[in-house]
Amino acid sequence: MSEGYSGFDWPVRIYWEDTDAGGVVYYANYLKFLERARSEWLRSLGVEQTELAQRDGVVFVVRRIEVDYLRPARFNDVLSVRSRLASVARASLEMIQGIERGEELILEARVKVACVGCQDFRPAKIPDHISERF
Answer yes or no: are the C-beta atoms of 66 and 43 closer than 8 Å.
no
Query: Following CA atoms 112, 118, 119, 124 in sequence, which dihedral angle do they give, to the nearest 10 degrees?
Result: -60
Contacting residue, 1, 7, 35, 127, with a second copy by CB under 8 A: 35
Contacting residue, 54, 76, 117, 134, with a second copy by CB under 8 A: 76
x/- map, 48-67, a second copy, by CB under 8 A: xxx--------x-xxxxxxx
The strand ranges marked E within the chain are 8-13, 58-69, 78-88, 92-101, 104-117
Task: Give the interface with a second copy as residue ranges (CB under 8 A).
Answer: 13, 15-17, 19-24, 26-29, 31-32, 35-36, 39, 48-50, 59, 61-69, 71-72, 74-76, 118, 121
